[in-house]
Amino acid sequence: MTGEIQTPRPDGTRLAARWTALLLGIITALVFWPSLKDGFLYFDDNAYVVFNGHVNDGLNWKNFFWAFQSRETANWHPLTWLSHMADVQVYGLRPEGHHLTNILLHAVNVMLVFVVFRRLTGATWRSLAVAALFGFHPLRVQSVAWISERKDVLSTMFWLLAMWTYTTYAQTIRTAPAIARRNYVLTLLFFLLGLMSKTMLVTLPFVFLLLDFWPLERWRPEDKWKLVREKIPFFILMVIVSYLEYSAQAYAGATHEISLSLPDRIANAVVSYPRYLGKFFWPENLCIYYPHPGHWPAAVVFLSATLMIAISALAWAQRHKMPFLFVGWCWFVGTFVPVINLVQLGSQSIADRYTYVPTIGLSLLLVWGGHAFFVRDRLRAAVAIASGLVILAACIGLTRHEIRFWQGNVAVWTRAVAVTKNNYVAHDRLGQTLASQPTAAIPEFQEAIRINPDYAVAHKDLADQYYKIGRFAEAIPHYQKSLELQPDDAGACYNLGLALFQAGDITAATTAFERATRLQPDFADAHYNLGLGYQQAGRANDAIAAYQKAVALQPDASTYNNLGALLLGTGRRDEAIKDFQAALNLAPDDAGIKKNLALALAQTNQPGPPK
């Protein structure tokens, strides 16, 4: 194997490296600075920040314990929750502050890539090139410009810190055991913190084994099992956190959002690797969401498998002569495994954000491979340097261009619709962002349903738009289809009841409200409208019970007033007076409530309310 010997460096060299790292971080921050203009996206950002009561409440002990117990957003990542709470504590709900944190974390990660690989290999310029290619690449935009992807930039910071301490551990284990032990513990700690930010870090122990092979050169036949044994604590943490993450995904239903057979999942995984390679080497048509085709043509799967096998065979054959090819390729392939959808998580086929860590391996392979080829003479070296600068300049230009497509919900989803085919999720989300313009939103929902007739969300969204503009008869069948696909959706059931009520079918509306209250017993509005339905059907006692449940859940003047009127009509004057008084406390200027209370009091010869 060809590795570089670690030798002490002069203080001047270390100082130059520190200034280089700082300059690299500043350039990275400037490249991504335009994303400060972006707002919150109502695709995960609402669940992570905007409408999350725990996050909005900021840092406190109650929210600290919640973060470790939460399975919201189908993830277990307490440190990510705490980071969002800290942002709210500092910036409130001003999106530019949340974006700034992402930019700074990414800049730190780029600096760490440089210093870690320089520490590993002793190669300053190649480490700088790897870091710059990683940091400036347009595939980074999704992880940096999307506030919800804080988990990417935060977890990778701990990944790289763990690499730093692991490198120190490996380089001092024979000469300074005390320092080595301290760094081993720090490595374990950083690994745990990374897992608590995003569980994609489960592959890090395997990357350590790759680093043992090259450039640390610890992988000897007599030592290989010793190297595996020293990773056992990491594997234990990996298993525990993987279980917590899978249980969170299963709890939220993300593992069965779309149903695919094992062969289909394997086929998508095989095809995904060349797709990710393509996006790395030719990063065009990037977007927030890539729809899953369900089934890939056999020819596409075969060609993808052939390509992967060929590259893997080449990397294996060159593992001794050019170990960086083997390590870089295995890094790329291996770190994708948790998110390659062998276990289907969500409905996407691939995602740009998943490339954040894996493409470090590709950058390593490309830079060290280019150096091995071009370093042989000065002309080739000059060509390599010029080509590298052009590539980095192109990456910066493409990244700045890509950031424009993240400046608002309409921009994000318009982009996704434009660069993908049959993207029913993008059409539906674009329709949601245009909800205030029904004539623009309705065609998007219709297109989503045309592409995927079994997409319950689009049926519900289209029905909501029809309801909003008074086309109740057209809304009803889409609510019914939505419920056929998602029978436990209390919201769709409630909205169906409203549409039926407006269409004049009181009996069917009442049935829908009954179902909504069974599905969600604390649904106050459903209990209120159920009371209305019973009242119009002449079922006074049932209506009274429904109104009483509604006000117990959510005190409301209209509900108290209706309840009082029913009680008064059934001769329960004292109870009616109490409810009218409660209504008047909530709406002291309501003339109708005053009149009803006066009538009830008149029947008991008591003075009426003040006018």
- pLDDT score of 605: 60
Residue 268 pLDDT exceeds 50: yes
Average predicted confidence (pLDDT) for the chain: 92
Rg (CA), the chain: 30
- pLDDT score of 257: 56
Instruction: Give me the mean pLDDT over the 559-575 stretch.
Output: 91
Residue 400 pLDDT exceeds 90: yes
- pLDDT score of 250: 72
Q: What is the pLDDT of residues 99-127, one digit of tens each?
A: 999 999 999 999 999 999 999 999 999 99
- pLDDT score of 2: 41
**Residue 88, amino acid:** V
- pLDDT score of 429: 96
Q: Which residues contact 419 (CB under 8 A, 6 or more apart)?
A: 285, 286, 287
Task: Return the higher-pLDDT residue of 344 and 455.
Answer: 455
Q: Considering only CA atoms, which of 364, 302, 313 is closest in space to residue 335?
A: 364
**Residue 590, amino acid:** D
Residue 6 pLDDT exceeds 50: no
- pLDDT score of 611: 52
- Residue 473: both structure tokens together: 């008869």
Buried (b) or exposed (e) across 112-126, using 16+ Cβ within 10 A? Answer: bbbbbbbbbbbbbeb
Residue 243 pLDDT exceeds 60: yes
Q: Considering only CA atoms, which of 111, 133, 75 is closest in space to residue 355?
A: 133
Q: What is the pLDDT of residues 60-102, one digit of tens each?
A: 999 999 999 998 888 899 999 999 999 999 999 999 999 999 9
- Residue 535: both structure tokens together: 């009242």
Q: Which residues contact 346 (CB under 8 A, 6 or more apart)?
A: 254, 257
Complete domains list, the chain, with CATH = 12-406 (no CATH), 450-602 (1.25.40.10)
Q: What is the pLDDT of residues 149-193, one digit of tens each?
A: 999 999 999 999 999 999 999 999 999 999 999 999 999 999 999
- pLDDT score of 327: 98
Distance from C-alpha of 215 to C-alpha of 327, rounded to nearest angstrom: 9
- From the number of C-beta atoms within 10 Å of its C-beta (0-12, 13-18, 19+), residue 274 rates as middle
- Kindly report the number of other CB atoms within 10 A of residue 39's CB atom: 17
- pLDDT score of 266: 94
Instruction: Give me the mean pLDDT over the 135-142 stretch.
Output: 98
Contact assessment for residue 146 and residue 152, using Cβ atoms and an 8 Å cutoff: no
Q: Considering only CA atoms, which of 150, 49, 134 is closest in space to residue 101?
A: 150
**Residue 112, amino acid:** L
Residue 117, Cα to own-chain centre: how many angstroms?
29
Instruction: Give me the mean pLDDT over the 291-315 stretch.
Output: 96
Q: Considering only CA atoms, which of 167, 210, 219, 156 is closest in space to residue 324?
A: 210
Range of lowest pLDDT (49-53, 314-318, 605-609): 605-609
- pLDDT score of 12: 66
- pLDDT score of 311: 97
Q: What is the pLDDT of residues 244-261, one digit of tens each?
A: 888 877 766 655 556 788
The number of helix segments (H) and strand segments (E) in the chain equals 30, 0
Give me the DSSP letters along 116-172.
HHHHHH--HHHHHHHHHHHHH-GGGHHHHH-GGGHHHHHHHHHHHHHHHHHHHHHHH
Residue 397, Cα to own-chain centre: how many angstroms?
26
Instruction: Give me the mean pLDDT over the 519-531 stretch.
Output: 95
Residue 610 pLDDT exceeds 90: no
Q: Which residues contact 408 (CB under 8 A, 6 or more apart)?
A: 38, 39
Q: What is the pLDDT of residues 20-45, one digit of tens each?
A: 999 999 999 999 999 999 999 989 99
Angle (CA) 74-76-81 rounded to 5° is 100
Q: Considering only CA atoms, which of 137, 108, 130, 311 is closest in space to residue 215?
A: 130
Largest Cα separation within the chain, whole Å, is 109
